[in-house]
Chain A
Amino acid sequence: MNRPASRAKEGTSRAVLLPAPVVGWEDVLRTGEPGREPTRARLRTLRLRGLLSEGVTAPRREGGRLSGSGTYYSVLWEWAERLRAEGHDKDASHLQQEARQVEATYGPRLATYLSQNSLEQLPAAAFFDHLNKRTAAALWRSERSCDLVLAAGAVVELTATVARILGAAPTGEETEVDLPARLTEQRSVPVGSPVWVVSRVVGGAAVVEVLPAVWAHLDDTASERFRWASPTWLAQPGSTDEELGAAAAERYDRTVAAMPDSDHVTGLLVDARAHGLPRRQLRPAG
């Protein structure tokens, strides 16, 4: 199991949240055409037209028993689909090439691993860290992909209808979104799980997706692009209460308890002298 938190202390890298690097074929098809249910027939068509690779096929196990087979793809196919839908065909083609390369490099190991384990267990694979970095590097080079991101965070509350997600936006600000719970159900994301939220406009409608995310341990250069995707209140694997408390105190000192700068104070005084602020009287005790 990769433990980004402990290695991050060495000062040469940073743990950030990234979309899980491998997804099911249904997710890729749903991303390409959000209004249609994914079918094996459409998967075959896309493959025949060369619009999708063969992916990685592995026997699927449920409760320790064989249960058909699963077909998996690099998550970069999803990002290519989003960019294509936005009209960025060149960027989409580039990401498709990257996706093919990732699958060529990691396909055999993925097939072996996923024949014995579930997709949710992939972060425990020995090659996962490298796969994650390779995928992150492709995303890192695709600036337009990051333009579609609303937030990286976690599902903190899940009711029958609503999934509440707290996260950090690419601007660095904390954000909170309530989304239909079905979006998290489609991706098998339980409460507490890290996620990315992405959105785009299709015709006159907004398409919002919740993507399962994983902690990735990136070096300084690569992690700079994803610096925002590391909400300090969200525990990295291995974090302690003390570490999270220290980060929270530092955040408070830097935000709520920070002192206003001179320009801000000047603005306050101007408003005060203009009698434009609410007023009340106070009679001191004694």
Chain B
Amino acid sequence: MPLTWRDAARTDRRLLQGFQCTIDFVRDRSGRPRFHARPWELDVQSHLRRTAPPHGPDQRLRLGLDEAGTLAAVTEQARVVVEGSISVVKLQALAVSAEVRGQGGRVADDALDDALSCSVELASASAAAEVLVIGWVDPRNRPSRELLARAGFGLRGDAPGGLEEWVVMVKVTRS
């Protein structure tokens, strides 16, 4: 079943604080953390756990809930600039709960579809006819790179901090 998506509200902070999209630390015998084997996943989880919705008018924080009301995925978008007919929106985060992984990318595809729709909505406040959606990805994050490629993004080049920049121009067609 597809997830139900909605904007995060102030009352969702506790829900976000419990969101888990990665494995646990490797710990020593006394239970203290030694290291994390997937730091790029730890980073986004830590970012989302500390995010304090609601976001302002230039940003969206979206929650995808399954039938049981469990938080299954989170996305975050921010409008960067509007110039002429082009609006630039950046995907700030896309994370799938560790509980619902292993479905061939179905949940992640659903999350990215919603994130793109929200990106268009963020841009629709302007007169922009096209939306340039960009995302910065850790090159070790293979699932995210494959997800973006499936959705039509292309690798444009390097982003600051050793990251990759993936981009797609979205043209909105209204019937």
Contact = CB atoms under 8 A, between A and B. Distances in A.
User: Do these two chains interact?
Assistant: yes
Interface string A251-286: 111111111100011001101110001111111110
B137 A260 contact: no
B89 to A, nearest CB: 11
B142 to A, nearest CB: 12
A235 B25 contact: yes
B35 A272 contact: no
Contact of A265 (B78, B80, B116, B153): B80
B167 A277 contact: yes
Nearest to A250: B46
Contacts, number: 162
B86 interface: yes
A157 interface: yes
Which size class do A's interface residues fall under?
A: 35 or more
Given A241-B25, A284-B120, A248 B42 contact: yes
Interface in A173-208: 173-174, 176, 191-192
B36 A256 contact: no
Interface string B82-103: 0100101010110000000000
Nearest to B152: A280
Nearest to B131: A282
Main secondary structure of the interface of A (DSSP, over half): mixed
Given A278-B153, A282-B116, A238 B25 contact: no
Interface in A151-185: 154, 156-157, 166, 173-174, 176
A235 to B, nearest CB: 5
B132 A256 contact: no
A1 to B, nearest CB: 12
B162 A173 contact: yes
A244 B169 contact: no
Contact of B35 (A235, A241, A249, A279): A235
A97 to B, nearest CB: 36
Interface centre among B46, B136, B153, B169 (most CB of A within 10 A): B46
A156 B167 contact: no
A269 to B, nearest CB: 6
Given A233-B42, A268-B134, 19 more contacts: A154-B35, A166-B35, A192-B34, A233-B39, A235-B25, A239-B32, A245-B42, A248-B46, A253-B47, A256-B136, A258-B136, A259-B80, A265-B81, A268-B88, A277-B156, A277-B168, A278-B154, A280-B170, A283-B175
19 contacts: A156-B35, A192-B26, A192-B35, A233-B35, A233-B36, A239-B33, A248-B36, A248-B43, A249-B43, A252-B46, A255-B160, A256-B163, A257-B76, A268-B156, A272-B169, A277-B169, A279-B152, A283-B172, A285-B117
Interface of A: 154, 156-157, 166, 173-174, 176, 191-192, 233-235, 238-241, 244-246, 248-249, 251-260, 264-265, 268-269, 271-273, 277-285
